[in-house]
Amino acid sequence: MTRLNSNLESIGAEFLVLGNLLIEGIQAFKTYNNQKGYDLIATNPQKGKSCRIQVKSRWATDYDGGFLINNIDCDFVVFVALNRGIRYRKGNKSTGEGRQAPEYYVFPKSVVKHVQTKSASWKKVYLKNISDINKYSNNWKLIIAALNKK
């Protein structure tokens, strides 16, 4: 299988996360200099706090339940399952079959580090290895709480 060029989609995922943060009332900014380890910065100017956020995404609806991440130099990792269609199963991939709404998971970096595979040169995180995965689904309050800490 040829490698999918999903550069536009991964940039789109960053903007989707940025939009969600803003809708939740979190001041946030996209970094445009390709910072290693993070893509967005969320801030609370009143408290002088900020959080670095790395956005990871998968294009296919039928992805393997994991995402690659080597550098966790951030405070949160937001994983976006873009669910743009079927890629790995048999079927007509050009029809848009399998398209669904994107899904968001907001993880503190400690959660990602705990389940990240250690054996391969490409470090991977599988959602099935994260206990109580549903508590991270669309949980923007984790970022709000970090920004409001004393």
Q: Cα dist. 30→4, 11, 55, 61 in Å?
A: 24, 10, 11, 26
The domain spans of the chain are 7-148
* CATH T-level fold of 7-148: Trna Endonuclease; Chain: A, domain 1 (3.40.1350)
For the full predicted model, state whether its pTM sits above 0.95.
Answer: no
Phi, psi of 105 (to 5 degrees): -130, 125
Tell me the pLDDT of the chain (150 aa) as tens digits.
566 677 888 899 999 999 999 999 999 999 988 788 999 999 999 999 999 999 999 887 877 888 989 889 999 999 999 987 776 665 555 556 678 899 999 999 999 999 998 876 778 999 999 999 999 999 999 999 999 997
